[in-house]
């Protein structure tokens, strides 16, 4: 029997649900809203309970949960980065790093470092909130941040390609993978061989890190906002407009191979996520749809649910069993993969 | 999301000190019932305690080969994208650009990005001009002229800080650069909100208003007056109404010297005048002399120094107006009506024929100012061939897109009951069939605003489209 997503409960939050971050044990979720809400949702025995912790004036922008701990961070238009205790919901610390708002937050896989981007500046913080390093401002603002799996490299999406910061104090070296277009996303393949970026001009660009050889896949209807690697580095799922396109990196690689088109969404896909340690992909769109896919096996959705509003974000629990789904009207739902 | 729910966006441009922040504060503090989000490039200037003021750092994305026509504003993409993620929808967005900003990429952002186009609609580009410093800025930098060229609405602000003649001249220069913008003279950015918000300048469905005066034929002169003169000696005089010229030379320097220097900037050497005998001191007699005057203005000019004598007849004379209180002698042998044609409006120089007032006068649309940026209008009733129009517009966008900042028009297409309405920003183009002509007179009206535009080339292109 094909896999299915079983609804396990939902809770209403009074905000546009911008993003969700799971705690490593899957027992809690941090949530941020477009109007600024920061909330903690407990997920125990399938019952969801939400508690509002605070607010970023003018809107929240980013959230990340430490992969090894009980704290999470949020940032907002107010310029602040807040560190929250995910157990009792208290505010641990407020950082005000720059005049520009922090738009990106990403914990290193070992949880010892937090990377942030505010405007053109990438900063590295220690887990206690002390600033460890601020890189020289880039030539453009940073559209996305991502760590590679070992946590040695941090990628930054720029107008003009990708910067890869080597996190190796005290050298803090930076390599550039240039391409004359604006990168929207950055994603390292889990096997560490390549870095991919969705581009503003309707292409996916990727670089083989060892040789710096690059390649690109064109033909998207508009900018490529979403990129997600499968855990085995075989597939790169990409989203642009209503389309989800997967590239197969098995065998000789995607160059010259036909893309796998996953069809079903009838409005813009807002979020894509590959199952940690698994073969399943979930997507959510403005067509109110939550879809479950298995690229390489099926081009049609294995399962789909019509939610109560446009889906803004979909996030797998770290164990790959649950999917949290956020909606534009504020509902957060959890599904279990069967 | 339905198209009619799109949130209108006003772009506010203008040099530092032109009054953008004052205008913004006025808009935000007024009780208009709108919930307005403000994106500021000059952060922290808005003084009103407003909930939705977001700072941005101007960032250009060249989406194609570094071509200015394909450059968009990355910061706006991000911030407007963020603004969509709110349930408490705001009704309006105002983008305040930096003083040196090029409005092109701001406008293009709304054409090039599909996500943005779905949610937001560019309403108008509003440019504030500091009347006191505009001409100086114009002489030193290219941005002020570009900001005026892109504008749908120009606020000629701080109008109380310059003389009436200066204001007149500045407005003419603005009009010469941008033939279609609505120009308002303001003090302290004081303007009715509906003159700057919800203007609908990029809305194809709203009737496209191309300023009527702009589409009139254009003349090498701006003013003509007919005087009834008896035989005798007359003096044509410029400058202040003072007799200080003779006994207190430093006095008139104090009064008018700066002012006259500005003229030297704007008009080069001398003011062109032609003096012709008229059949009568009447409108008809004046009208009959327009053609001879146009011909005379096309001829080489005769320079007339201060205190020199003016000739009557079909000769263009350039009178030296670089100093205040310049005067020129006129000897009339035959009593009768005489028409004086002036290159620029006499009010700019306080030019007058002493002891006489014109019985009849008339202003003319003139666009022969030597601005690098100009507007060219084409008005023609004949039907056009849709295929040929398509070819011509495509050619224009590709070959002249860099220099054409804005274009708009209403076209009378052969065999089509509806008006074809279009507008463009550089290479971005948007056009659609809109309201039926019904009983209205079918007419093509096109306007191009840009740098180094060639009227003959544009007219030839237009003529190639005739059905």
| Sheet of A91-95, strands arranged across | A60-65, A71-76, A81-85, A91-95
Q: According to the model, what pLDDT value does residue B74 have?
A: 83
**Residue-averaged pLDDT of chain B:** 83
CA–centroid distance for B216 within its chain? 15
- Predicted confidence at residue B44, as pLDDT, reads 55
**Confidence band of B260 (pLDDT split at 50, 70, 90):** very low
What is the structure's pLDDT at B253? 39
Interval B193-206: pLDDT, tens: 999 999 888 877 66
Over residues B363-376, mean pLDDT: 74
- CB contact under 8 Å between A141 and B59, yes or no, is yes
- Sign for the CA dihedral angle at A8, A12, A17, A21 comes to negative
CA distance A295 to A76: 35
- Look at residue B269 in the predicted model and tell me its pLDDT: 67
> Is the peptide bond between A170 and the residue preceding it cis, with omega within 30 degrees of 0?
yes
| pTM of the model as a whole | 0.77
Mean per-residue pLDDT of chain A: 93
Is beta strand B36-40 parallel, antiparallel or unpaired with respect to B92-96?
parallel
pLDDT digits (tens, 9 = 90+) for B404-438: 999 988 999 999 999 999 988 998 888 999 889 88
**How far away is chain A from the Cα of B63, in angstroms, using its nearest Cα?**
6
A166-190 residue pLDDT tens: 998 888 999 999 998 889 999 999 9
User: Nearest residue of A to residue B37 by CA position?
Assistant: A58
Rounded to the nearest angstrom, the minimum Cα separation between B113 and chain A is 8
What residues of B are in contact with residue A59 (Cβ under 8 Å)?
82, 85-86
Q: Do B85 and A99 touch (CB under 8 A)?
A: no
Where does the pLDDT of residue B116 fall: very low under 50, low under 70, confident under 90, or very high at 90 and above? Answer: confident
Kindly state the tokens that stand for B289.
């002399």
Among the partner residues B43, B65, B74, nearest to A140 by beta-carbon distance? B74
A328 touches chain B (CB under 8 A): yes
Determine the pLDDT at residue B63. Answer: 65
Burial of residue B314 (CB within 10 Å: 0-12, 13-18, 19+) is middle
Chain B contact for A263 (CB, 8 A cutoff): no
User: What is the edge-to-edge ordering of all strands in the sheet holding A281-285?
Assistant: A269-274, A281-285, A289-293, A303-306
Distance (Å, rounded) from C-alpha B408 to C-alpha B205? 13
């Amino acid at each position: 029997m094909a896999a299915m997503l079983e609804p396990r409960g939902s809770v209403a939050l009074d905000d546009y649900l911008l993003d969700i971050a799971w705690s490593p044990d899957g027992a809690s979720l941090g949530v941020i809203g477009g109007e600024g809400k920061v909330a903690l949702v407990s997920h125990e025995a399938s019952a969801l309970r939400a508690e509002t912790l605070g607010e970023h004036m003018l809107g929240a922008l980013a959230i990340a949960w430490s992969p090894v701990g009980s704290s999470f961070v949020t940032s907002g238009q107010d310029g602040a980065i807040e560190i929250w205790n995910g157990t009792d919901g208290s505010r641990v610390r407020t950082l005000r790093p720059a005049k520009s708002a922090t738009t990106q937050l990403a914990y290193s896989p070992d949880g010892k470092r937090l990377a942030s981007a505010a405007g053109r500046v990438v900063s590295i913080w220690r887990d206690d909130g002390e600033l460890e390093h601020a890189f020289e401002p880039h030539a453009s603002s940073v559209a996305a941040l991502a760590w590679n799996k070992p946590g040695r490299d941090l990628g930054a999406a720029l107008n003009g390609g990708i910067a890869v910061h080597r996190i190796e104090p005290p050298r803090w070296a930076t390599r550039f993978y240039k391409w004359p277009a604006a990168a929207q996303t950055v994603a390292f393949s889990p096997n560490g061989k390549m870095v991919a970026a969705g581009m503003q001009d309707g292409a996916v660009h990727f670089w083989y890190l060892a040789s710096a050889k690059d390649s690109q896949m064109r033909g998207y209807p508009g900018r490529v906002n979403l990129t997600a690697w499968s855990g085995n580095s075989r597939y790169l799922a990409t989203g642009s407009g209503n389309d989800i396109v997967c590239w197969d990196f098995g065998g000789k690689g995607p160059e010259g191979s036909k893309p796998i088109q996953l069809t079903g969404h009838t409005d813009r896909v807002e979020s894509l996520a590959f199952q940690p340690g698994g073969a399943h992909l979930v997507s959510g769109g403005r067509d109110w749809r939550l879809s479950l896919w298995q690229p390489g096996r099926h081009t049609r959705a294995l399962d789909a649910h019509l939610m109560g509003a446009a889906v803004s974000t979909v996030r797998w629990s770290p164990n790959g069993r649950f999917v949290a789904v956020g909606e534009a009207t504020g509902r957060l739902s959890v599904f279990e993969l069967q | 999301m339905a198209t009619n729910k799109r949130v209108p966006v006003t772009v506010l441009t203008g040099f530092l000190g032109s009054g953008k922040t004052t205008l913004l504060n006025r808009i935000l503090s007024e009780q208009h019932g709108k919930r307005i989000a403000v994106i500021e490039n000059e952060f922290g200037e808005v003084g009103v305690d407003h909930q939705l003021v977001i700072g941005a750092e101007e960032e250009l994305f060249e989406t194609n080969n570094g071509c200015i026509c394909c450059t968009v504003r990355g910061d706006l993409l991000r911030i407007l994208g963020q603004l969509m993620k709110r349930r408490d929808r705001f009704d309006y967005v105002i983008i305040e650009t930096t003083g040196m900003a090029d409005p092109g990429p701001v406008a293009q952002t709304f054409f090039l990005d599909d996500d943005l186009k779905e949610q937001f609609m560019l309403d108008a580009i509003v440019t504030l001009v500091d009347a006191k410093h505009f001409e100086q800025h114009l002489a030193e930098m290219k941005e002020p002229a570009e900001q005026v060229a892109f504008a749908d609405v120009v606020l000629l602000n701080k109008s109380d800080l310059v003389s009436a003649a200066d204001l007149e001249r500045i407005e003419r220069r603005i009009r010469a650069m941008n033939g279609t913008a609505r120009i308002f003279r303001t003090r302290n950015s004081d303007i009715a909100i509906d003159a700057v918000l919800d203007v609908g300048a990029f809305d194809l469905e709203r009737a496209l208003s191309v300023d009527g005066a702009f589409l009139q034929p254009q003349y090498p002169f701006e003013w003509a007056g007919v005087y009834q003169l008896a035989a005798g000696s007359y003096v044509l005089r410029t400058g202040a109404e003072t007799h200080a010229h003779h006994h207190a030379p430093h006095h008139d320097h104090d009064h008018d010297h700066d002012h006259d220097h500005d003229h030297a900037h704007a008009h080069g050497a001398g003011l062109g005048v032609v003096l012709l005998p008229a059949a009568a001191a009447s409108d008809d007699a004046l009208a009959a002399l327009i053609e001879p005057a146009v011909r005379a203005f096309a001829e080489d000019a005769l320079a007339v120094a201060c205190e020199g004598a003016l000739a009557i007849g079909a000769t263009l004379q350039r009178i030296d107006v670089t100093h205040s209180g310049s005067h020129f002698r006129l000897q009339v042998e035959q009593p009768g009506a005489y028409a004086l044609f002036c290159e620029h409006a006499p009010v700019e120089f306080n030019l007058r024929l002493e002891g006489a007032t014109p019985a009849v006068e008339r202003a003319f649309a003139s666009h022969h100012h030597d601005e690098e940026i100009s507007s060219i209008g084409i008005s023609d009733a004949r039907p056009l061939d849709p295929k040929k129009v398509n070819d011509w517009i495509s050619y224009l966008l590709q070959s002249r897109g860099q220099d054409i900042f804005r274009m708009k028009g209403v076209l009378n297409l052969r065999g089509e009951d509806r008006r074809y309405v279009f507008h463009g920003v550089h290479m971005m183009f948007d056009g659609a069939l809109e309201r039926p002509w019904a009983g209205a007179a079918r007419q093509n009206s096109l306007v191009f605003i840009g740098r180094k535009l060639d009227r003959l080339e544009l007219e030839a292109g237009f003529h190639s489209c005739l059905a």
